Chains A and B, each alone.
Chain A
Amino acid sequence: MSYVWTIAEQSKGKLREVSFELLSRGRKLADKMDTKLCSVLLGSNVSDETLQELIYRGADEVYFIDDPQLENFIVETHSNVLSDLIKTYHPHSILAAATSSGRTLMPYVAIQVSTGLTADCTELDIEEGTNHLLQTRPAIGGNIMATIKTPSHNPQMATVRPKSSRPLPLDTSREGKIIRLVLKDELVDHRVKMVGFRKDVEEFVNIEEAEVVIAGGKGMKKQENFALLRDLAKHFDGVLGASRDAVDRGWLPYPHQIGLSGKTISPKLYICAGISGSIQHLAGIKTSEYIVAINQDQDANIFQLADFGIVGNLFEVIPKINARLEAYKKEAK
Chain B
Amino acid sequence: MKLNIIIPIKQVPETSNVKMDKETGTMIRDGVVSVINPLDLYAIEAGIQLKEQFGGKVTVCTMGPQTATKALKEAIAMGCDEGILISDRKFAGADTWATSYTLSEAIKHIGDYDLVLAGERATDGDTGQVGPGIAAWLNIPLATYVSKIDEITTESITVERLVEDGYQVLQMPLPALLTVVKEISNPRLPTLRGKKKARVSEVPVMSAADLQLEESYIGLKGSPTKVVKIGYPKVTRGGQVVKAAGEEGVNEAVEELIRFLEAKELI
Contact = CB atoms under 8 A, between A and B. Distances in A.
Contact of A149 (B38, B165, B226): B226
Interface stretch (B3-11, B49-57, B109-117, B134-142): B134-142
B141 A192 contact: yes
Nearest to A325: B267
A108 B132 contact: yes
Contacts of B239: 291, 303, 305-309
B59 interface: no
A15 to B, nearest CB: 14
Nearest to B251: A320
Interface in A70-91: 72-76, 79
Interface in A93-151: 99-101, 103-104, 106-108, 110-112, 114-120, 134, 138-151
B166 interface: yes
Interface residues of A, number: 95
Interface in B37-91: 38-39
A14 B165 CA distance: 14
B165 A142 contact: no
B182 A261 contact: yes
Nearest to B12: A140
A306 B226 contact: no
A115 B222 CA distance: 11
B266 A290 contact: yes
Interface size class of B (residues with CB under 8 A): 35 or more
Interface in B118-149: 123-133, 135-137, 141-145, 147
A280 B38 CA distance: 11
A268 B123 CA distance: 25
A143 B27 contact: yes
B16 interface: yes
B45 to A, nearest CB: 13
Contacts of B225: 116-118, 148-150
Contacts of A193: 170-172
Interface stretch (A33-41, A198-206, A219-227): A198-206
A100 B163 contact: yes
A322 B210 CA distance: 65
B31 interface: no
B254 interface: yes
Contacts of B142: 75-76, 104, 108, 192
A229 B169 CA distance: 32
B257 A292 contact: yes
B250 A316 contact: yes
B129 A117 contact: yes
Interface stretch (B189-197, B201-209, B229-237): B229-237
Contact of B20 (A108, A147, A291, A304): A304
B105 to A, nearest CB: 13
Contacts of B169: 194-198
Contacts of B22: 304
B44 to A, nearest CB: 14
Interface in B6-37: 13, 15-16, 18-20, 22, 25-27
Contacts of B255: 324
Interface string A296-323: 0010010111111111110011001100
B165 A11 contact: yes
18 contacts: A73-B163, A101-B163, A107-B96, A107-B100, A119-B126, A134-B228, A141-B126, A149-B225, A191-B141, A206-B165, A260-B15, A260-B123, A279-B19, A280-B15, A308-B239, A310-B244, A310-B253, A320-B254
Given A104-B145, A148-B226, A311-B243, 18 more contacts: A76-B141, A107-B127, A110-B129, A116-B97, A117-B225, A149-B226, A191-B173, A193-B170, A193-B172, A195-B169, A197-B167, A236-B266, A254-B147, A279-B20, A304-B25, A305-B236, A310-B244, A317-B244
Interface of A: 11, 72-76, 79, 99-101, 103-104, 106-108, 110-112, 114-120, 134, 138-153, 191-201, 204, 206, 208-209, 212, 235-236, 254-255, 257, 260-262, 268-269, 279-280, 282, 286, 290-292, 298, 301, 303-313, 316-317, 320-321, 324-325, 328
